[in-house]
Structure 1
Amino acid sequence: MFADERMTAMSLSDGSALPKGLGRDYAFHSPPATEGIFHPKIILQLGRDGGRAFISSANATAAGLAGNAEVVLEIPCDDEDTPERDIVRSVWRYLNSLVSTETSPARDSLRWASERSPWLEGPATAPLRDLEDGSAIAFLHAPGGLAITDQFVALVGEAKVQKLIVISPYWDANLTALSDLSRRLSPKRIILPIDSRRHEFPVDATFAKTPTIVELDWPARRFTHAKIMVAMTSRHDHVLVGSANCTTAALGRPGRPGNNAEACIYRRLPRGAATRALELDRWIDADPIPLADLDPPEAAPQIPLKAFDACRPGKFELDNGVLSWRPPSHRVEEGEVHLLDHVGLPLAIIPSGTFERNGDVRTVLVDRPVQGRLTFARVVWGETVSTTTYVSHRQVLRERRKEVATGGVARALAAFTDGSDFDLWMHQAFETLVRADFSQEEAETKLTAARPRPRRSEAVADQPLALSYEEFTEARPGANHAGNHGGNSLAGTYGDSVRAFLNLLSGRDGAPVEVEEDDGWLDVDDESDETDQELTAAASEASQPSAELIIAPPVDARLYERHVLAYAEGLEEDEEPLGSSDVLRLRFWILFLLYKARCQDLPQGLECSSETRSWPRFLVRILVAFFCGRSPAITRLMVAREYTAMPLDFLECWVTILWALDVIESHIPNNRKNQQFLKYIPQLRRRIVALLGLTPTELVGEAASDVRDGLDRSIGLRLGLAPAVAL
């Protein structure tokens, strides 16, 4: 939700009940404060095949949405090339321009939406678009270069204006904006519908004697808040509706934009169309009201924007246990940050000097008991107490950003959410969900947040937000404040449901685990190309038949072999960038093999040996495809720059791999038949650990221990490993 930071502060500090879901279910984004106010009223709904924009005069308040007299214009579109789609795109571009490209919850949300609405991409078109019915439409906004009044006058053009009707709840004290419009459009008649009993029209202004005042006669339970402007010519009705009052702050002056941010829709309609739609006859034909018959104007209380601006505490964000604080630029002295719960009660006080400084951002690790309850914050500088602000829980916002599944996607999702067994056919459901997370027809061309890869036909040239996995492991700190993992890069995708299923299968509940620092370290050596070739050769023996292998009915291990080899060969032959879905796919196949090693439909299981169709051989074949060779798949893995620690879903996969290698070593009989295969396992482990570049806390910290303990309790017991053997 876009909102003026000062108005948000006023709402959170007026003594009313604080909103419980703010920061977790939804968040505010406040564009930089200006002399004016952030005043657009836009609702934008986006889907894979279309969307719609509502441009209105209504604030997101109970009065605005369900009480006041307001005006709203809806613009629906599909993904076809239409003028309506161009307008919705323009609205999208406007909102997108209000958010910095720096990582933030708002940028997360916009990126998530754009990835699922590829039809939003495309070049900007001319502001005015002709519609099939002969009318025209344009989206006028500020900031945006020209003043809204300049744009409106240009769209009316040289046609002589016969009547100008203006409805506005607020006016300039001297009617400057109205007099400017009158001078530039030269209407023969100006009609102002005014509520004679309750208004803010400046009756003492010099220009107030020029227009015709008529009774508004627009029943509303609360207040007439609509903003409408209609310039009638001999051929057209030129209509402007939206957020802009008839003030210079909103409309601007000739050649000079207004101070406010505004959003309006212009419509050019056939003569009389606006009269019928808005029932303008009641005002055109109404009897004039003398200025003397108007009640004195009711001066609205001034909003103390400067006072709220002076008391802003800055912005707070919690992500994986680290509280980030961006103090207001005008505050440089030291103070105290007060952390509050959902009703505003204190949880902790942190001296500002405790925060580590990194440019404009300060960070501090928050105690785990406080993290779950932290909702609001304020800052105390000496005798000055800031207004209350909310804390964005970035990872929670990511995880609650879900897309409703329908049709085949819903059926595929049910495979992982209805408690089904782990069967081979589920890999097809997995692929359906991965494809559904990103449009196949128009994939996002920028890899973001370790997301799934785009199609081969798409260029991946501009990569300002992504690093290769090797660059990521080299660039990040040795261990971040939160411990040994970053956020879940699958949050907000259908793939996250697959991850939750795999976590349950692994004896875990899928919840993020906060961790502490650990000084342990596993010393690793890099491997040479010769070792890679040996590992590849050893693993490739899985494709060679073995006369000694006997499989009891009804097991058909050849089916498993075909799928495993197809997956492994695909990894080796592909050249496309990889993302989080590919890491999840790797974990999917490893856990599938471990799970099917001993199960009801395979009474004797896949043999735990070095034989061709044994589960250890299948598993090693996959790992060699991902980590070995001259150009292993992991070198194509991309991670977003925003991650300073290993994404949690990545870490879950890496630990599962290392656990599986431990099980192979401890579980396969160390006899002559298996020795040739077993001697490669330590080399493979060293190779994998070297490429993963895990920090000490990532290797042996609490998050990794949680994964291993879960695997011991679930897959380990399923494989018949004694607790002392399960590693």
Structure 2
Amino acid sequence: MKLYERFADKEFHTSIATSFGIDFDAYENIVLPRLRGAGCRNNLVLADGRMLTHALCGASALPHHAGRLYTITGIGAPGVFHPKLFLQAGRRRGRLIVSSANLTTPGLGGNLELAGMVMSDEPGSGEQQLVAAGWQYLSRFLNGDQQATAAQIDWMLTRAPWLAKATPATGPVGLADGTLAALLTTGQTSGIGQRFTDLVSEPVERLIVISPYWDPNLAALSYLTERLSPGEVSVLLDPECTVFPKWALGKVQVMRLYDRGDFRKGRFIHAKAIIAQTATADHVLVGSANCTLPALGDADFAGSNEEACLYRRLPPGSMADALGLDAILTSERQLDPATLPDLDLAEELPMGELAALNPGRFECRVDTLTWHPADAFDPAVCTITLLDQHGKPMPCRLMPLTSSGETQRFEIGETQERPAFARVQHENGRVSAPSIVTLIDRLRAVVRETSSRQADNALRQLDDETETSLMLLDVLGVLEQIEHGEPSGKKPISIPKSRKDEEGGAAAYKTLSYEQFIAGRRLRTENQLPHNSLAGSDISIVRSFLNRVIGLDADERDEEEDQSPMPARAFDLGDETGDGQAALDAGEEFDTEKTQREEEERERAEYRRTAATKKATKEQIVAAVAAFSKRIRERRKSGALDNHDVIRLRALLMIVCTAAIPVAPAKDSKAKGSRLQVLPPEGDPNSWPTVIGRTLFEIFGGKNPGIRHLYLIGEHDQVPDDILECWATCYWCLQACLTAPVLLCERKRLTRYVKPLAELAYLLTLPTKAELLSPDVTGLMSAMSEAYGKRLGIEGETIASAHRAMVEALFSKSAHHEATAV
């Protein structure tokens, strides 16, 4: 196969790739665009930690998208981290590619490499068991100590639940084509070499070995020959090979060397293959393992590298035929060992020195930098310098925050630029290699599935909408079901369960009650960077729609993302004549008496339809509020509220505001009322102030308000923008109820019931004066006044003044109580 072409295959949302070395240009220009173009946007890379440092020290160009569009993690091993696995997961299927190719330009397009692929479609199939075995192996290195990768894995498992449920293969399994296969990885008590030879239970006629690297004394090859006792050992070599120890040939009996000749001439043979040919089968091992003891091990040594290989039991002679080896392994192509050049091993990389240059791992959420230091750098005597995408120092200030254990946290101040790398300097002057800073919030925003047709159809309804209507709740319902992979009609899960690794390690993330979250939050700062708890979800598009409706800038696109195409009807206002010239040519009359009568009849029919729609819409809004209250009560009892409930609350409040009829519209007003305005201001059990109060009571009222059961993921250390926007919407709606120019008796009733609810809402959401009066809150309230205040006859300054007065009164009352207690 052409490996790079497989990256463009669709139906997968997640990829996990492993490699010894990494070339960022190769991954970002060959692999990543194909993956993302195919809808696979949740991408992780694992590479040998020392080779990652080597790449960041200049062996590769610095990455442009690492930590922003994908994560890369350096892995340690007693020997080297050397597997070449490529696992992909989708909603219904998975794929595992086991190869010899590194994520480098030669590996992806220059060398001669070998790969085996397994596609899983059927539950319980051998293919699915192999994919699950691949995931079981990879999960050893994804232990949740980094927030970004932990979130990526949880995101994957939520959208590929079959992967967690599938039984990993522990030995050979049958495949759909009738052959057998097994995934052989390191980490077991016995090495890959021993397990491979155990699978060959019949006499071996010929053992074919292809490997770019060997032991100096051919120890691994000697072990394989001893265990399998082949009639012949055939080794394919480039006659100019300088890494084959010809002086050790005497250690292996019946060995013959063959000249590759013109076989894929000009391409370095980086493939690794062991083929044990018997009378009934080809027993094949392909993957990352060279024919060396660190890779394959022997009877007394399991190996020191991390490796992964695929075993296949194929029909006799099929593998040699598929690779074209029959035409090469002939007597005419046999090499005289004496003609081979002497052993000339390349200078090895200084792995120890590279390890000492690694400063550890860095993550950043909005303006909070987290450092997981490596052993070589003591945080107490080191300073951090943040670097931009060109590797140049960024002017900024790092202020220490509360930290736990060895993990260090800092607030990044005096800059709006996002860091790409970090470098650490020891007090003795020793400087680390640059380390990638993973931007958790940006990564989360771009890690999402390609919208399904169902989601597209739901979101398309928002394209031409300029006001909130009940349709929005239907859109939210559809998106929630899709996000949780549920059949229609099933309620969404309240909180994702914290995932723990098999060893009982720390949870990948935890959730906090809103009260716990508020107690440990960090106050927001001016010029706050975007912080959206819905990022990466189609539901975030609903949030953008709500902001657009009230005139706020809702563009959250990342500069690294492709610009979304403009919706086909973005500028179609629905008021243009379909074919004006054709209408004139047909002789249509525009000012005749007949036309006037027809117009009047149409108006009467439209009035009847509008009246019926208003009645139905009013009933539907009241029913929607009742359904929301029931939803909150049920989720309060059986689970917990989450950010989906918060965006639903905001949407419902804006729907009620859209449906509100002003108290006394001016007779000379030229403004036309909306057909959606159906809720009267007073004199009705379902007046809009009453409906707003009813909506908010389940969240903030009673002895057990719903907000006490609101949970947020513990990865947030500040109130996210989408949550803050909802609270500000609540404040505006409550003040609109309290300041609406209704009759005195209604004013007294609203003050009696709504004011205590408003005070509770303020204290339970943002319990500091500074937060309640922050520009983020007052700015959104001002936008609500522009969108809804004018049409309701309520001045924006009236609501703003009432809001300030309530905040001042609440905190002066609180201060008085504290003074009295003292």
The verdict on a shared fold, with TM-score over 0.5 as the criterion, is yes
Superposition map of 1:127-276 within 5 A: 127-156=171-200, 158-207=201-250, 210=253, 211-217=255-261, 218-219=263-264, 221-276=266-321
Normalising to structure 1: TM-score of the pair? 0.85
Q: Does 1:105 align with 2:152?
A: no
**Alpha-carbon displacement from aligned partner over 1:158-186 (angstroms, at most 9, x marks no partner):** 32222111111111111111111112222
Task: Call closer, same or farther: CA 1:484–1:343 in 2, change over 3 Å.
Answer: closer
Do the aligned residues in 2 keep the contact of 1:336 with 1:349 (CA within 8 Å)? Answer: no
Task: Call closer, same or farther: CA 1:151–1:702 in 2, change over 3 Å.
Answer: farther
2:377 to 326, 331, 334: 331
Do the aligned residues in 2 keep the contact of 1:449 with 1:640 (CA within 8 Å)? Answer: no
Do the aligned residues in 2 keep the contact of 1:447 with 1:465 (CA within 8 Å)? Answer: no
Q: Which residue of 2 aligns with 1:347?
A: 394
Do the aligned residues in 2 keep the contact of 1:2 with 1:30 (CA within 8 Å)? Answer: yes
1:447 to 485, 490, 495: 495
| Structure 2: distance between partners of 1:580 and 1:374 | 28
Displacement of 1:668 in angstroms is: 4.6
Q: Which residue of 1 aligns with 2:659?
A: 596
Q: Which residue of 1 aligns with 2:539?
A: 495
Task: Call closer, same or farther: CA 1:447–1:569 in 2, change over 3 Å.
Answer: closer
Q: Which residue of 2 aligns with 1:366?
A: 412
Superposition map of 1:659-698 within 5 A: 659-669=732-742, 671-692=744-765, 694=767, 698=771
Displacement of 1:71 in angstroms is: 1.0
**Amino acid aligned to 2:413:** D
Q: Does 1:617 align with 2:690?
A: yes
Displacement of 1:404 in angstroms is: 0.6
**Alpha-carbon displacement from aligned partner over 1:168-208 (angstroms, at most 9, x marks no partner):** 11111111111111122222211110111234212222556
Do the aligned residues in 2 keep the contact of 1:447 with 1:463 (CA within 8 Å)? Answer: no
**Alpha-carbon displacement from aligned partner over 1:402-460 (angstroms, at most 9, x marks no partner):** 21113222111223456564332232222111111111169998933999xxxxxxxxx
Task: Call closer, same or farther: CA 1:412–1:199 in 2, change over 3 Å.
Answer: farther
1:90 to 115, 133, 137: 133
Task: Call closer, same or farther: CA 1:335–1:161 in 2, change over 3 Å.
Answer: same
Do the aligned residues in 2 keep the contact of 1:480 with 1:645 (CA within 8 Å)? Answer: yes
| Structure 2: distance between partners of 1:63 and 1:418 | 50
2:454 to 408, 413, 416: 408
Do the aligned residues in 2 keep the contact of 1:167 with 1:226 (CA within 8 Å)? Answer: yes
Do the aligned residues in 1 keep the contact of 2:144 with 2:507 (CA within 8 Å)? Answer: no
Q: Does 1:299 align with 2:345?
A: yes
Q: Does 1:650 align with 2:723?
A: yes
| Structure 2: distance between partners of 1:509 and 1:256 | 62
| Structure 1: distance between partners of 2:307 and 2:83 | 4
1:586 to 629, 640, 649: 649
Q: Does 1:18 align with 2:62?
A: yes
Q: Partner of 1:2: helix, strand, or coil?
A: strand
Q: Which residue of 2 aligns with 1:47?
A: 90
Task: Call closer, same or farther: CA 1:631–1:90 in 2, change over 3 Å.
Answer: farther
Task: Call closer, same or farther: CA 1:586–1:183 in 2, change over 3 Å.
Answer: same
Structure 2: 5+ residue stretches without partners: 1-44, 500-505, 557-609, 662-671, 801-822
The structure with the larger Rg is: 2
**Amino acid aligned to 1:183:** E
Q: Does 1:34 align with 2:60?
A: no
Displacement of 1:589 in angstroms is: 1.0
Task: Call closer, same or farther: CA 1:153–1:404 in 2, change over 3 Å.
Answer: same
RMSD: 3.2
| Structure 2: distance between partners of 1:712 and 1:282 | 82
Q: Partner of 1:73: helix, strand, or coil?
A: strand
Displacement of 1:400 in angstroms is: 0.8
Percent sequence identity is 31
Do the aligned residues in 1 keep the contact of 2:235 with 2:256 (CA within 8 Å)? Answer: yes
**Amino acid aligned to 1:341:** D
Q: Partner of 2:46: helix, strand, or coil?
A: coil
Task: Call closer, same or farther: CA 1:420–1:6 in 2, change over 3 Å.
Answer: farther
Task: Call closer, same or farther: CA 1:337–1:467 in 2, change over 3 Å.
Answer: closer
Q: Which residue of 1 aligns with 2:123?
A: 80
Task: Call closer, same or farther: CA 1:253–1:364 in 2, change over 3 Å.
Answer: same
| Structure 2: distance between partners of 1:397 and 1:303 | 32
Q: Which residue of 1 aligns with 2:553?
A: 509
Task: Call closer, same or farther: CA 1:186–1:702 in 2, change over 3 Å.
Answer: farther
**Alpha-carbon displacement from aligned partner over 1:259-279 (angstroms, at most 9, x marks no partner):** 221121111122222233223
Superposition map of 1:630-641 within 5 A: 631-641=704-714
**Amino acid aligned to 2:360:** G
Do the aligned residues in 2 keep the contact of 1:115 with 1:444 (CA within 8 Å)? Answer: no
**Amino acid aligned to 2:117:** E
**Amino acid aligned to 2:243:** E
| Structure 2: distance between partners of 1:448 and 1:243 | 36
| Structure 2: distance between partners of 1:87 and 1:192 | 29
Q: Partner of 1:28: helix, strand, or coil?
A: strand
Q: Which residue of 2 aligns with 1:5?
A: 49
**Alpha-carbon displacement from aligned partner over 1:706-726 (angstroms, at most 9, x marks no partner):** 433443443444545423123
Do the aligned residues in 2 keep the contact of 1:486 with 1:643 (CA within 8 Å)? Answer: no
Normalising to structure 2: TM-score of the pair? 0.76
**Alpha-carbon displacement from aligned partner over 1:453-490 (angstroms, at most 9, x marks no partner):** xxxxxxxxx99844452563376256489999994322
Do the aligned residues in 2 keep the contact of 1:191 with 1:283 (CA within 8 Å)? Answer: no
Task: Call closer, same or farther: CA 1:415–1:316 in 2, change over 3 Å.
Answer: same
Q: Which residue of 2 aligns with 1:519?
A: none
**Amino acid aligned to 1:563:** A
**Amino acid aligned to 2:52:** T
| Structure 2: distance between partners of 1:450 and 1:659 | 35
**Alpha-carbon displacement from aligned partner over 1:492-524 (angstroms, at most 9, x marks no partner):** 222121122222224333478xxxxxxxxxxxx
| Structure 1: distance between partners of 2:298 and 2:681 | 81
Displacement of 1:624 in angstroms is: 1.8
Q: Partner of 1:360: helix, strand, or coil?
A: coil
Displacement of 1:245 in angstroms is: 1.0
Q: Does 1:312 align with 2:358?
A: yes
| Structure 1: distance between partners of 2:774 and 2:317 | 73
Q: Which residue of 2 aligns with 1:68?
A: 111
Structure 1: 5+ residue stretches without partners: 452-461, 513-550
Q: Partner of 1:348: helix, strand, or coil?
A: coil
**Alpha-carbon displacement from aligned partner over 1:313-351 (angstroms, at most 9, x marks no partner):** 221111120111122123226133221111112113768
Superposition map of 1:367-382 within 5 A: 367-369=413-415, 371-381=416-426, 382=428
**Amino acid aligned to 2:323:** L
Do the aligned residues in 1 keep the contact of 2:101 with 2:108 (CA within 8 Å)? Answer: yes
Q: Does 1:118 align with 2:161?
A: yes
Q: Does 1:726 align with 2:786?
A: no
**Alpha-carbon displacement from aligned partner over 1:6-25 (angstroms, at most 9, x marks no partner):** 21221122175422222212
Displacement of 1:569 in angstroms is: 2.6
Task: Call closer, same or farther: CA 1:657–1:708 in 2, change over 3 Å.
Answer: same
Do the aligned residues in 2 keep the contact of 1:485 with 1:646 (CA within 8 Å)? Answer: no
| Structure 2: distance between partners of 1:468 and 1:483 | 26
Aligned residues: 676
